[in-house]
RNA sequence: GGAGAGGUGGCCGAGCGGCUGAAGGCCCUGCUCUCGAAAAGCAGUAUCCUGUCAAAAACGGGAUCGUGGGUUCGAAUCCCACCCUCUCCGCCA
């Protein structure tokens, strides 16, 4: 959410920035409702002031034993008027709120212009692509051959786009989770968190999933709860409505949670394998930082996520999302894309974003500077460190051998009981 | 599911129709004292909206005692609904 005052004072700039994203906002309605709101507010405050003054007078008169009936009647009228105006005020505030909640964040000045993902510039490429003297198999075939992935049975249990792992596959997923969490809580300095996997409407609104993207979420029938699409939601909301001390910042959290996504609108896309599932595990990194350091924190967040791929020796590239591909709440985002040899493409495995004050304003997360009056919004950031299912897919494809086995990255072996390879 | 208790500022906690944006304490900040620190003393210390203003500061106004309604000239205080927390009983992992 942008600040109302800011939108009011910078309408042209806001419109221009939103056009770069391809977002359309009803600025006219906003302007009218905003003007009307302030007009009504002024009137209400004047009436209330009068009522406050006269009410005190009535109290005095009553104490002195005087008759205040005339004033009482007059104030009865004033109160009725206030009540009516209150309704008008609320109506206009609703209009403003509905619009402002649907305005995406403004892209940071360093974000490259562009229309969609094809315009995302590659920032760097790391690791060397594996060379095969055979045709590398897609991970779903490898998984089936190895007896560790079973999408047919998963479909029986739940439906399409649900995972079912067996044996070394299930263990690989668990090993990756432990490996990632150990790396982040160790050298990277994150505190591990295990949050709720369902959240309320307010939390979803705070991080920006609602009100615009409700169709992407799983909602529990008969409950005002949503399954989380990412740990970003519960973890960012840990500090909602809090005023933090400057010296508490920065705060780093990491959490592994299942993520649930309806994937509405992606029918027919990535229908095979672990790439696009209704349920997947993800290790998430979340930061609460001082505004002046948030872009440096974005760089270190990115390198924390990259570190996992480096230690797993998986080749990847980093792209900067262009204005047209930027997510709703983000001011700047880097995507890390891992090499998938069977398809010969890089696939997103992590997304690292700086939201600046956008989520903090919605979630009301502020801090106080030492010796200074007032509060400021913290800046929030998050990134995947990493999506676990896709990491499994990447390991299977990149580390496959001609005999159909998969040679495990060395960093992972301690978490797999020193297993060196997964064999049929 | 049944019975009860409670939600007040950064924290603890008093208040239970007007004199309360809220006693008292703690934390924090500044000053005094001290070579310095501690202790002690003094002072300050909520947030949001809004007006004057180019802006900041300052000053004025309004709102906020879980949330939303209601009663009243006037509500932290009375009424209703909802949310949340805690205790006991039952049930269940």
Q: Which one is catalytic: A214, A348, A376, A423?
A: A348
Report helix, strand or coil for A357: coil
Contact between the CB of A65 and strand B at under 7 Å: no
Whose C1' is closest to the CA of A200: which nucleotide? B83
Contact between the CB of A199 and strand B at under 7 Å: no
Closest residue by Cα to the C1' atom of nucleotide B51?
Answer: A42
pLDDT at A16 over 90: no
Contact between the CB of A369 and strand B at under 7 Å: no
From the CA of A30, how many Å to the C1' of B5? 46
ipTM over 0.85: yes
The answer to whether the Cα torsion of A270, A221, A158, A386 is positive or negative is positive
- Please compute, for residue A71, the number of CA atoms within 13 A of its CA located in the half-sphere on the CB side: 16
Q: What percentage of chain A exceeds 70 in pLDDT? A: 100
Alpha helical stretches, state H, A66-225: 69-100, 139-146, 151-157, 167-185, 201-207
From the CA of A213, how many Å to the C1' of B69? 30
From the CA of A323, how many Å to the C1' of B23? 55
pLDDT for the residue numbered A6 = 86
pLDDT at A266 over 90: no
pTM, two decimal places? 0.94
Q: What is the mean pLDDT of residues A96-104?
A: 90
Q: Which nucleotides of B are covered by protein (CB under 7 A)?
A: 10, 18, 28-30, 47-51, 57, 61-63, 69-70, 72-74
- Which tens digits make up the pLDDT trace of A332-360? 999 999 999 999 999 999 999 999 999 99
Q: Cis bond leading into A211, ω under 30°?
A: yes
**Any catalytic annotation for residue A60?**
no
pLDDT for the residue numbered A171 = 97
Contact between the CB of A48 and strand B at under 7 Å: yes
Whose C1' is closest to the CA of A58: which nucleotide? B73
From the CA of A356, how many Å to the C1' of B62? 31
pLDDT at A372 over 80: no
**Any catalytic annotation for residue A115?**
no
Contact between the CB of A75 and strand B at under 7 Å: yes
**Any catalytic annotation for residue A351?**
yes
pLDDT for the residue numbered A7 = 86
Nearest one of A296, A396, A297, A382 to A340, comparing CA atoms: A396
Contact between the CB of A373 and strand B at under 7 Å: yes
pLDDT at A320 over 90: yes
């Amino acid at each position: 959410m942008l600040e109302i005052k800011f939108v009011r004072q910078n309408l042209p700039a806001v419109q221009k920035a939103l056009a770069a994203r391809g977002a359309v906002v009803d600025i006219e309605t906003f302007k009218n409702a905003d003007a009307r709101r302030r007009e009504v507010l002024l009137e209400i405050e004047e009436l209330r002031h009068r009522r406050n003054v006269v009410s005190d007078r009535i109290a005095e008169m009553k104490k002195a034993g005087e008759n205040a009936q005339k004033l009482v009647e007059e104030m009865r009228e004033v109160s009725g008027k206030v009540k009516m105006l209150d309704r008008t005020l609320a109506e206009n505030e609703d209009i403003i709120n509905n619009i402002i909640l649907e305005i995406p964040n403004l892209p940071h000045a360093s974000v490259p212009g562009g229309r969609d993902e094809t315009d995302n510039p590659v920032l760097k490429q790391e690791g060397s692509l594996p060379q095969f003297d055979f045709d590398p198999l897609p991970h779903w075939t490898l998984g089936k051959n190895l007896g560790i992935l079973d999408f047919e049975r998963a479909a029986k249990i739940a439906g399409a786009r649900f995972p079912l792992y067996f044996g070394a596959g299930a263990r690989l997923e668990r090993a990756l989770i432990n490996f990632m969490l150990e790396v982040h809580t160790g050298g990277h300095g994150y505190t591990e968190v295990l949050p709720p996997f369902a959240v309320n409407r307010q939390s979803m609104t705070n991080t920006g999933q609602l009100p615009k993207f409700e169709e992407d979420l799983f909602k529990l029938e008969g409950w005002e709860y949503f399954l989380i699409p990412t740990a970003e939601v519960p973890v960012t909301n840990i500090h909602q409505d809090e005023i933090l001390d400057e010296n508490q910042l920065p705060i780093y959290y990491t959490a592994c949670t299942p993520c649930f996504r309806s994937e509405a609108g992606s029918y027919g896309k990535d229908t095979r394998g672990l790439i696009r599932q209704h349920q997947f595990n993800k290790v998430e990194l979340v930061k609460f930082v001082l505004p002046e350091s948030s872009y440096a924190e974005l760089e270190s967040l990115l390198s924390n996520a990259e570190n996992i791929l480096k230690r797993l020796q998986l080749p990847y590239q980093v792209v900067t999302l262009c204005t047209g591909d930027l997510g709703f709440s983000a001011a700047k985002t880097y995507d890390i894309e891992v090499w998938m040899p069977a398809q010969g493409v890089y696939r997103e495995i992590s997304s690292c974003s700086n939201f600046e004050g956008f989520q903090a304003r919605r979630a009301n997360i502020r801090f106080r500077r030492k010796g200074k009056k007032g509060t400021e919004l913290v800046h929030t950031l998050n990134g995947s460190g990493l999506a676990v299912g896709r990491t499994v897919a990447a390991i299977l494809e990149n580390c496959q051998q001609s005999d159909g086995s998969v040679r495990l990255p060395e960093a992972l072996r301690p978490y797999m009981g020193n297993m060196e390879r997964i064999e049929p």
